Structures are given as structure tokens and as C-alpha cells.
Amino acid sequence: MKYAYEDLSEDQFEQLVVLLCRRLLGMGVQGFAKGVDGGRDAKFVGTAELLPSKAAPWTGTVIAQAKHTNGYNRSFSEGDFFNAKSENTVIGKEVPRIKKLRDGKQLDHYMLFANRKLTGNAESDIRTHLSKTCGMAESSIILCGLEQLESWLKEFPDVPGKANLDPVDSPLIVSPDDLSEVVQALARHMDGAATTLDAPPTPRTPYETKNAINNMSAEYAQGMRRLYLKETTQVKTFLAAPENEELLRMYEAVVEEFQLKIIAKRKNYQSFDDVMNYLIDLLLARDPLLRANKRLTRVMLFYMYWNCDIGEGEDAAAY
């Protein structure tokens, strides 16, 4: 289960980190009240239960720091987070705090959690930088990005509930990542494709019937059809091409996520017009590559609806 970490408050994210550290290090992990924390959100003294491994656990004092951002699709490698030549970054501001704790013999091992993507190169660069500037062994530093965070939360599925992270009560949040790759590839394809198109495909459920089932207004439905119907054949042909099998799998993963999220949150929206507008606004706000292809992003969302990949069809309405 993926959570909208960017929609959490700093306090919620810190609480999640503290609870997760208790599972990774031990129940002796201590959280700190909000304030000038001196570079620590959690502290553990003793022998760690699981980190870095059961066979060779850390011993001594472990300090964990949580760095939350409200931004979406952010990464450790961005300039505001890490730049080896600048002190005015998230990492740059942490270095003197870590050094102070090291000098006071209050830190043997260090963990940094952030709701950002972490690549292998960024992980190596940041860990090496912290090791050199803070006088620590690289083996005593662990960086945790979104990928590792998701992995650990799968191992300890009770932690999100204890941190009051409830996906049922969360807003309609979908990930734009796979769709962004599909849209970029489709944009390159359409740039070189002929503009003459065959007749658009026949939807599985008649368009007017689907609109009535989903409570989409006639005016909105007609507007989408007029603007985007002519591209649906190219989209279908592109996804069906053998060389685009991986992109088709991505598209299928996208519509599966979108459809299930829409079903869960449908009651929160008066009409499907609102659902479509919300999804478009969300996708464009959260991915710069989709913003660079606004019209094609709207085409893809219309194709999902027209092709009965999202929204209810006649089969669903019969139950």
C-alpha cells in the first residue's frame, strides 16, 4: 500500500519514523517533542535488533532524523537536499548538528529518513559526504528513501495504523509515475505519426450509457468527445504495438490503480465531471513531464474513460 507521504504533516511523518525505528532497532527507541531537536527525531541506545543485520547489529547510540517535504516526486539528489559544495541544503544544515553530537559522544550511528526517491548514486554520494565531514564510518550511516520506506512498511504492516496513516480516509491520490512514461513515449510517437486517422474504436459500453451510469453531464461528455476522440485510435494502436508491450503493462497498472481508487472515493464527488477534473489537476500538479504534455495527458485520461478502463460500465451497473 502506498501512502501520500507528501500530504502528511511533519509531525505525522516523524511519528511514522519513530514507530518504524522501534521495529528496526528496538522498543527502547525514544522520540522527542517538537522543538529544537539538535539533529535528532529518535534515539536508541543498545544493540539494534535488525540493523544493519541480525548477524552484525549496530551497538551504541543510534540517532534517526526525519526530513519531510510536501513536494511530490522529489529526490535526494535535488540541489535543495544535497550539494557537496553548499551548506544551505537539507544535508548541509544537518552536518554541524551531527558533528556536534559526535563530538559529545552522543552518536555512533546515523539514520536519515526522507519522503524522497533515493537512487544508488545519490545514496553513495551522500553517505560518503556524511562520512568524511562528520568523521563516521560509511557502514554507520543508513539513508532511507521512499523505496526503502515502502519495503519496510510491507515488512511491518501494523506500523502505518499505529501512526494513524489510513488510506481509506486519505484523499483520492494516484501516482503519475507510470502514466508519465507512457505519455512521454506516446508524445514521441505522435510527433512522427501521420495526422490522418481511421474511425475511432467503438467503446465496450455505449458512450451515452456510460455517461448516465457514471453521472457525467452531457455537456462535459460532449466536450471531451469533441476535443479528444480523434486521438483515441492512435493511442489504441500505439499501446497494441508489440514493441510497446512494456508500456502497455505500465498503462494497465495505471488504470488498475486509478479504477480502484476511484471506486473507493467515488462517493466524495457529485459527478464524474468532478472526478475527471480532479485527476487531471492532480496529475499535472504532481509531475512536470505531464505538465509539459497537458493535452496528451487529458487525451490519455479520456481514452481510459472511453475505453471503459475507468468508471463503471454496463456490467458493473447490473449488480
Class of domain 5-162: alpha beta
Neighbours of 211 (CB within 10 A): 22
In the prediction, which pLDDT does 281 show? 85
In the prediction, which pLDDT does 188 show? 86
Name the β-bridge partners of 144: 113
In the prediction, which pLDDT does 136 show? 96
- Round to whole Å and give the CA distance between 250 and 175: 12
From first to last of the 319 residues of the chain, give the pLDDT tens digit. Answer: 567 788 777 888 999 999 999 999 999 999 987 655 455 689 999 999 999 999 999 999 999 999 998 777 789 999 999 999 999 999 999 999 999 999 999 999 999 999 999 999 999 999 999 999 999 999 999 999 999 999 999 899 899 888 887 654 455 667 777 788 888 888 888 766 544 445 555 556 889 999 999 999 999 999 999 999 999 999 999 999 999 999 999 999 999 988 988 888 788 788 999 999 988 988 887 778 888 899 999 999 999 999 999 999 876 543 3
In the prediction, which pLDDT does 174 show? 72
In the prediction, which pLDDT does 43 show? 96
Residue limits of CATH 3.40.1350 in the chain: 5-162
In the prediction, which pLDDT does 266 show? 83
Burial of 194 (0-12, 13-18, 19+ CB in 10 A): exposed
The CA–CA distances, whole Å, from 191 to 162, 176, 186 equal: 49, 22, 8
Best CA proximity match to 306, nearest among 211, 240, 241, 239: 211
- Which amino acid appears at position 183 of this protein? V
Whether the CA torsion 310, 312, 314, 319 is positive or negative: it is positive
Cβ atoms 238, 188 nearer than 8 A: no
